[in-house]
């Protein structure tokens, strides 16, 4: 069925496709995590705590409270919608989508350790409760569970060579994420990071998993090579725009909405895009002021305020919005290339998701 163009992007029930996907993905995540317990119940509890299923004591969290604790689930949703848009089903997509979510959370647990982040999603991080060593174990277990989920994608109608290609790409993508994380940490101690360096870093750390989600979902859904490439282009552009928006929230985001302190990225001396834009636009004196602040081991509140004032003076927020709009438009263009050959409802859902992520405040 072809997707007919619609300026309003409306379907009979605009939430039905994502809601059905979320429910089935959650069931698959629960199945994969259930394999972790064995004779080490703490491992199961740490994983389920991080994923928002239980409290630190192991008590179940009511379903209506899980949403704010489990994260946005953007990446698995993209995989599910891409699979359906390519002609597949949720049954085809759910194991892949669950694997992507588990891999993402593996990276978050390790990222929290590396960044010494005390909180995530409005509650203490895994390392903050159980220590670094056990948190590393929890992250490693989620990575292994994600690998099992990829193998669980084998199903009638899915060619073996497609599954093998997805498995290989999954591991290459994981390496890309690690490379991006290495660069991100390395950049914190440098004052010569360029926008090209930044783009290379976020293509690994953030965009690789979104690109993989869209591409792999399409492949398992039966997409042709050329169509899968368009899904990948969509994912790459969406992922870059997503990270740029994340960088903006790391400076200007509300702590009530993000779960992190406002301007936290400044305190952590992150070489995020707002800082790189400021460095490019600032006068020699203002650039020297920025570098003096960022060389300090601990940035005091007056230093944070100075950087925020410099951002405002040079119109950095406006430049960020222009970048987000550019990658949003690139993602939309990739989806439009798929209009004639893709299922309408899931493709419309991807359009709406693209719009929502460009405007998000969390």
* pLDDT tens sequence across 125-155: 999 999 999 999 999 999 999 999 999 998 7
CA distance 247 to 201: 13
pLDDT tens readout for residues 113-128: 998 999 998 899 999 9
- Give the up-direction half-sphere exposure of residue 89: CA atoms within 13 A in the CB hemisphere: 6
Q: What integer pLDDT is reported at residue 13 of this predicted model?
A: 39
Q: Which residues contact 335 (CB under 8 A, 6 or more apart)?
A: 230, 234, 347, 350, 351, 354
- Long-range Cβ contact pairs of 190-193 (< 8 A, separation 24 or more): 190/271, 191/279, 191/291, 191/294, 191/295, 193/271, 193/276
For 298, phi then psi, to 5°, come to -130, 125
| φ/ψ (deg, to 5) at 8 | -95, -10
Q: Which two tokens stand for residue 163?
A: 């599954």
Listed residue (56, 63, 73) closest to 131, CA to CA: 56
Please, what is the average pLDDT of the chain?
90
CATH class of 16-359: mainly alpha
Angle at 279 between CA 273 and CA 281, to 5 degrees: 100
Mean pLDDT, residues 146-173: 91
pTM to 2 decimals?
0.90
For CA atoms 6, 224, 157, 235, the dihedral sign is negative
Helix (H) or strand (E) run with residue 191 in it? none
The mean per-residue pLDDT over the stretch 331-358 comes to 94
Residue 96 has pLDDT above 90, yes or no: yes
Q: Could you tell me if 251 and 274 are in contact, meaning their C-beta atoms sit under 8 angstroms apart?
A: yes
**Whole-number pLDDT of residue 80:** 95
In the chain, where the domains are located: 16-359
Which tens digit of pLDDT belongs to each residue from 28-56? 999 999 988 788 999 999 999 999 999 99
A 10 A CB-CB count for 118 gives 12
């Amino acid at each position: 069925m072809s997707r007919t163009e619609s300026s309003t992007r409306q379907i009979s029930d605009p939430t039905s496709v994502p809601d059905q996907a979320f429910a089935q993905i959650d069931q698959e995540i629960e199945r994969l995590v259930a394999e972790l317990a064995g004779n080490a119940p703490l491992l199961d509890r740490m994983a389920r705590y991080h994923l928002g299923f239980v409290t630190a004591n192991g008590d179940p969290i009511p379903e209506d409270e899980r949403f704010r604790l489990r994260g946005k689930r953007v990446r698995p949703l993209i995989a599910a919608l891409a699979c359906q848009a390519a002609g597949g089903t949720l049954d085809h997509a759910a194991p892949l989508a669950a694997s992507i979510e588990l891999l993402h959370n593996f990276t978050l647990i390790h990222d929290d350790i590396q960044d010494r982040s005390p909180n995530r999603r409005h509650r203490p991080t895994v390392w903050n409760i159980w220590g670094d060593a056990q948190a590393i174990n929890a992250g490693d277990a989620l990575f292994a569970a994600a690998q099992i989920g990829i193998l669980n994608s084998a199903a009638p109608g899915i060619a073996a060579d497609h599954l093998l290609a997805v498995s290989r790409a999954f591991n290459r993508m994981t390496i890309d994420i690690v490379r991006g994380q290495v660069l991100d940490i390395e950049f914190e101690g440098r004052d010569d990071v360029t926008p090209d360096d930044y783009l290379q870093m976020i293509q690994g750390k953030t965009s690789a998993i979104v690109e993989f989600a869209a591409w792999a979902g399409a492949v398992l859904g039966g997409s042709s090579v050329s169509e899968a490439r368009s899904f990948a282009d969509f994912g790459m552009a969406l992922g870059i725009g997503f990270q740029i928006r994340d960088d903006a929230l790391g400076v200007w985001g509300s702590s009530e909405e993000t779960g992190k302190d406002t301007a936290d990225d400044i305190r952590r001396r992150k070489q995020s895009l707002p800082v790189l834009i400021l460095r490019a636009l600032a006068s020699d004196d203002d650039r020297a002021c920025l570098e003096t602040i960022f060389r300090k081991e601990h940035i005091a509140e007056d230093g944070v305020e100075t950087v925020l004032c410099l951002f405002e003076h040079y119109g950095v927020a406006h430049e960020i919005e222009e970048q987000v709009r550019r990658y949003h438009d690139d993602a939309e263009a990739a989806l439009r290339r798929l209009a004639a050959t893709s299922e309408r409802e899931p493709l419309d859902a991807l359009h709406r998701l693209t719009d929502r992520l460009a405007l998000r405040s969390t």
